[in-house]
A = this chain, B = another copy of it.
């Protein structure tokens, strides 16, 4: 905890999305199982989901290399997916089916507390995404899941990915806040540390099951952030929303 923190100083909350707001793993497994049932496929969908997600950070890192063109997450997800299709016995899918599967990230389910918590927080604060997902992905997800964002902000707007400090500074600028008036809400300490280094306030949310029930446990109460919350309802309570 940072001793000086006062919720009254916060004007806006920016949310990491994948893993913090939505449960990407269960969503991919569920849609995969639907695909298996429809097509008679045998696929280890939890392993598939983990492999897809594991490709994400290296794919973003490649876009940061010298001379590399920036590419959005839809494109990176498709590149990773193409590499996974043979490995998981999905070569028989047609192009339309692959396109649909790739867009599962546009249809991810919120964690059970997310919509209720966001609706509470929204009454008191401007609430925005601050995601590496592209804007159209985030807009589709919000419509599909009922996420009541006031603004949809993405690294896409400046063609950079978190944890690039420019992404956090962009959010404060576009929301008309000083960095100290903006709080990043995320389930990932690395994201929060980068935001903190830019002067943002930080709230860690413990998404114990983000990587599934068998993954190494995530830390419930990491040090160094302004708030630590069990979920968005708890966060709303701590912020008096």
Contacts and interface: CB of A to CB of B under 8 A. Distances in A.
Interface string A138-179: 011011000000111000110000000000000000111100
A143 B135 CA distance: 20
A172 to B, nearest CB: 10
A126 interface: yes
Nearest to A176: B136
Contact of A174 (B128, B135, B175): B135
A102 interface: no
Contact of A156 (B128, B140, B150, B174): B174
A131 interface: no
A143 B157 contact: no
Given A126-B139, A136-B176, A152-B152, 4 more contacts: A134-B174, A136-B177, A139-B151, A156-B174
Contacts of A177: 136
Contact of A143 (B74, B126, B136, B139): B126
A41 to B, nearest CB: 28
Contact of A176 (B134, B150, B157, B174): B134
Interface in A88-146: 126, 128, 134-137, 139-140, 142-143
A219 to B, nearest CB: 33
Contact of A152 (B74, B143, B151): B151
28 contacts: A74-B176, A126-B139, A126-B140, A126-B143, A128-B139, A134-B174, A134-B176, A135-B151, A135-B174, A135-B175, A135-B176, A136-B174, A136-B175, A136-B176, A136-B177, A137-B176, A139-B150, A139-B151, A139-B175, A140-B176, A142-B150, A143-B150, A150-B152, A151-B152, A152-B152, A156-B174, A157-B157, A157-B174
A156 B156 CA distance: 14
A134 B175 CA distance: 9
A156 B157 CA distance: 11
A12 to B, nearest CB: 9
Contacts of A156: 174
Most chain B CB atoms below 10 A, which of A74, A128, A139, A140: A139
Contacts of A152: 150-152
